[in-house]
A and B are shown apart, each in its own frame.
Chain A
Amino acid sequence: MCGIVGYIGTAGVGRDGNEATDGAVSASVGEIVHEGLHNLEYRGYDSAGVALVGASSGLTVAKRSGEVDALTVPDLPEATHGIGHTRWSTHGPPTDANAHPHTDCVEDVAVVHNGIVENHETLKAELADHEFTSDTDTEVIPHLLEEALAADPGIDLLEAIQRVESRLEGSYAICAVREDDDRIVVARRGSPLVVGRGEASSFVASDVTAFLEHTRDVMYLEDGDVASVGADAVSVYHDGERVERSVETVTWEADAAEKGGYDHYMRKEIHEQPEALRQTLAGRLDVDAGDVDLDVSFPPGFLADVEEIQIVACGTSNYAGRYAAQLFEELSGVRATVEIASEYEFGAGRTPDRTLVVAVTQSGETADTLGAVRRANAAGARTFAVTNTLGSTVTREVDGTAFIRAGPEIGVAATKTFASQVATLVMLAVAIGRNRGALAASDARDVLEDLRGLPGAVQQVLDDEEHVREAAREYGDSEAFFFIGRELGVPVALEGGLKLKEISYDHAEGFAAGELKHGPLALVTPNTPVLAVLTEGGRATETMNNVTEAQTRGAPALGCISAGSKYDTLDVSFEVPDVGVVEPLVANVYLQLFAYHVANNKGRDIDKPRNLAKSVTVE
């Protein structure tokens, strides 16, 4: 939930004219770290700070509450390395004191941390003679380092971290620097941390987007790794032993993570959906054979015998799972259930080796979902991940992975990744159905043709944005918003409500349309618009009856309808092109645009809604 960044290298040297550096890096260490924090701001943004180390300036820390822009990074051209942090509060409110980096009593060591030190109370009690200045769990780490270094003056920061690391419980990614030490030392357990290797420079970060403009050569650390990061070399240790971690090359573009002329990442990402979906589908559909080429490597016979598919996910990914679960039953012929990851337990009455647990997570780092995967693995079930992030933690903990290939998503409110998640899961449902012999090639072909039509259909909806903008202007100032649908329209209604409340702070709820009359109808007034999914795959006629119930109570009704159908009583109709089972998914694009324009008209901070963070790496 927080973002970590670190840089060590020859930046700044070239500025004094002493030595030319590689052209890309000409700013000072402080500037590079600050820029990295900007790139990670989506991970947390209620406080920020940096620690810079230079031969004569020693250790300098600057930190404060507020956004990254508000932070003044000290101008230290001779600094050789530095670390930075952008925080989303878990322990202690966003104050200057609680901002990272944290230091020991004598300001010899500075530490930034992402995750939770669960035994921080116990450790703090043991450190009674140390002076603590914050409410954070993190602060025990620099004081423990101080103790370790004082106890044995012969050791360096790397050895100190190795000793301290074994005492920490919980999940963490730690980055530490020390005065008079010429390296950055990092440790990882349960929270993401990657190392970038440039020319005579190294980077560390929670996410490669922090340093993608400098290097694409990336080393993914594994849980339990401790590394000493220098400008020319990175040494990784695991359980005290030196290990090698391979360097991989990131292929996607850094500028894909820039706003490219849009006011908000969210609107850019909504408009990127046709391209993202083309990438999701590229090379995977074999329409003639009625099959999908998805790298699903299960032992022979496993899919034929599978009794249940359990989808575990949170938030928007959970709704993508709900969409898919219906299709797993219909296309794959397997019982499918969806669990909220934080509530998931491998319940009784199931045979582990006949259960497939599918984790859906955009970042691959969602702590709740990782917890569910670990419980499923512990129970002996087979696990599979659907994620957007290569090298993410979840991919190392499951038996197989399908990447959604949506490209980086920066806006906190998920948009294009929802579409790509659903498209990937539909392909998975076809692959499993075909493998099990539950799905005829001709039926599969119909679904695959609908999938091929998806990018064009979404583009058609995006071209109709003006229509949505008008509706948002007219209905945006309502008391509450209700989203309803049936069948595949239910997850879309839930997602529509979530999107609107996330970014506009309005009261918005999604319901199964039939549930309206069992309670929520009491909330319906002329000032609560109802948005309905009235497309194919959503039992439109029945849903329309529920819309009428709301209209009878005076509520305005907006509907996403299949092309060619007509409901005269709707106040606003959004037309969805004919793409069969993915029509509700296309309808969702209208709801995304509606949420965006309602929030934008209210001047909300759309890419960074209050209290929310992009990848939720705490439980």
Chain B
Amino acid sequence: MVPVANRPLLEYVVEAVAAAGIDRVILVVGYRQERIRNHFGDGDDWDITIEYVQQATQLGTGHAVLQAEPVIDDSFIVLNGDRIVEHSVIATVQNRMHDGETPVMAVTPTERPREYGVVTLDDNRVIDIDEKPAGPVMTNRINAGVYGFSPAIFDDIRETDVTGELTITATLNELADIADGVAAVNYDGRWLDVSNLWDVLSVNAALIHDRTNREGSAADGDENSSSSSVAVADDVALADNVRLGPNVTVGGSTAIGENATIAANAVIENTVVFPDAVIGAGAVVRDAVVASNARVGPNVTIAGGPATVVVDDAVHRNVEFGGVVGDNATVGGGATLTDGAVVGDNVRAAAGVVIDERVESDAVVRRG
């Protein structure tokens, strides 16, 4: 579970659902579901009931919805677990569902429509959803990932004619062509998405900013700092039991998770550090994501700043992104990460290496 401002992203989604007055939530879980179950339990902390259904193999969003069919017998709302929305849009979709059986989807404007499903509307009716269109687009309205369905959707998903992944949007595109179609509701509120790794940084910054505005300094944990020479910016979220060594500097828009260690003289800025991670003495870590239990060695440099990142042949220019260190990965002393390097889970990188691209999980990186 990816933490932003030291709480799992999914928790913000669950909170919005609870705030919209919905008291039963079904989480479709797959990868590392135990962590999710541990965190959310039966939902008592949110005064809702949480149930779990398992999606054994990830065959698309439509397939995920199908897994919930045995426990659903009435209209329901579907949300993506990695997109933060306000509770108002959930309530709006829910209200619209009272009008009938027609599927409902929320659409929202964005600055980067081509990275999402661009929705063409006729009044409030969906005409077409074009996933990540290659050419110019006529609208900046995209699929917000909040849907209202009746149980009829399960048959519709099964009958969808697709090759490859069974996505909800494929089903909705088919339904858009027939009589009742798909209804759209407009949403202009906050919409935060982490489909790209570096989005974690901006979402984290936005949520810390919220909290700082609300409560003053966001640094509320019982950090275990033995030194008065530590400098921590106001817009930093420190979890409980974080250890900050002497002369550590923690710059703005940074979140540091429970039981993480930042050793002496390290400089951390605009970074998300997950629980149990260790950042060594003298390291400079900027615009980065350091995942659970990762070990960043002494004097490692993740310089940050604008980078050109290539993901699956798509080139993303000018993103503020220093790099990622995956779960349990070890980066040796004095190593350098540049250009949005992604070090996979469990990678062991030797001292002094320079990493400027993606390193697959479980790999070993040596100096050549």
Contact = CB atoms under 8 A, between A and B. Distances in A.
A582 to B, nearest CB: 14
- Give chain B's interface secondary structure class: loop
A261 B293 contact: no
Nearest to B245: A288
B293 A452 contact: no
A564 B240 CA distance: 32
B192 to A, nearest CB: 26
Given A260-B38, A261-B37, A456-B276, A281 B241 contact: yes
B294 to A, nearest CB: 9
B328 A460 contact: yes
Contacts of A577: 293, 328
Interface string A503-527: 0000000000000000000000000
Contacts of B243: 285, 287, 452
A296 to B, nearest CB: 19
Nearest to B294: A456
Interface centre among B246, B292, B293 (most CB of A within 10 A): B293
A155 B340 CA distance: 83
B220 to A, nearest CB: 15
B52 A261 contact: yes
A457 interface: yes
A258 B292 contact: no
Contact of B45 (A255, A278, A288, A453): A255
Interface centre among B45, B241, B277 (most CB of A within 10 A): B241
B258 interface: yes
A283 B259 contact: no
A255 B275 contact: no
B50 interface: yes
A8 to B, nearest CB: 26
Contacts of A261: 37, 40-42, 50-52
Contacts of A453: 276, 278, 293
Contacts of A256: 41
Contacts of B261: 287, 452
Contact of A462 (B34, B222, B224, B241): B34
A474 interface: no
A463 interface: yes
A254 B44 CA distance: 9
A283 B42 contact: no
Contacts of B278: 452-453
Contacts of B222: 282-283
A457 B37 CA distance: 19
B292 A459 contact: yes
A96 B273 CA distance: 58
Given A278-B258, A452-B259, A463-B32, A260 B241 contact: no
Nearest to B330: A578
Contact of B241 (A268, A278, A459): A278
Interface string B239-273: 01101011000000000001101000000000000
A146 interface: no
Interface string A242-261: 00000000000111101111
Contacts of A298: none
Interface in A415-456: 452-453, 455-456
A459 B34 CA distance: 10
A459 B293 contact: yes
B34 A455 contact: no
A459 B50 contact: no
Contact of B41 (A258, A283, A452, A465): A258
B247 to A, nearest CB: 12
B95 interface: no
A275 interface: yes
B226 interface: yes
Contacts of B227: 288
Contact of B38 (A253, A272, A281): A272
B42 A255 contact: yes
A466 to B, nearest CB: 11
A271 interface: yes
Interface string A282-316: 11011111000000000000000000000000000
A278 B274 CA distance: 14
B41 A281 contact: no
Contact of A288 (B40, B226, B292): B226
A453 B224 CA distance: 16
Nearest to B34: A271
B276 A271 contact: no
Contacts of B42: 255, 258-261
B37 A262 contact: yes
B38 A271 contact: yes
B224 A455 contact: no
Interface in B1-54: 32, 34-35, 37-38, 40-42, 44-45, 50-52
A283 B224 contact: yes
A525 B299 CA distance: 53
Given A282-B240, A283-B222, A288-B245, A456 B293 contact: yes
Contacts of A286: 224, 226
Given A261-B41, A456-B293, A288 B246 contact: yes
A262 B39 CA distance: 12
A209 to B, nearest CB: 14
Nearest to B277: A456
Contacts of B292: 456, 459
B153 to A, nearest CB: 25
A456 B328 contact: yes
Contacts of B37: 260-262, 268, 271
B275 A455 contact: yes
A211 to B, nearest CB: 16
A318 B142 CA distance: 61
A255 B44 contact: yes
Contacts of B327: 460, 463
Contacts of B241: 278, 281-283
A255 B48 CA distance: 12
A260 B41 CA distance: 4
Contacts of A258: 41-42, 44
Interface in B270-323: 275-278, 292-293
Nearest to B51: A261
Nearest to B328: A460
B245 A255 contact: no
Nearest to B33: A261
Contacts of A459: 276, 292-293
Nearest to B243: A287
Contacts of B41: 255-256, 258, 260-261
Nearest to B27: A261
A268 to B, nearest CB: 8
Contact of B224 (A253, A278, A285): A285
21 contacts: A253-B45, A255-B42, A255-B45, A259-B42, A260-B40, A261-B50, A261-B52, A271-B35, A271-B38, A278-B276, A281-B241, A281-B259, A282-B240, A283-B222, A288-B226, A289-B226, A452-B261, A456-B259, A456-B276, A456-B293, A457-B293
Which 4 A-B residue pairs are closest in the complex by CB-CB distance?
A456-B293, A456-B276, A260-B41, A255-B44
Given A278-B276, A456-B275, A459-B276, 14 more contacts: A254-B44, A255-B44, A255-B45, A256-B41, A258-B41, A261-B42, A268-B37, A272-B38, A282-B240, A282-B259, A283-B222, A456-B292, A460-B293, A577-B293
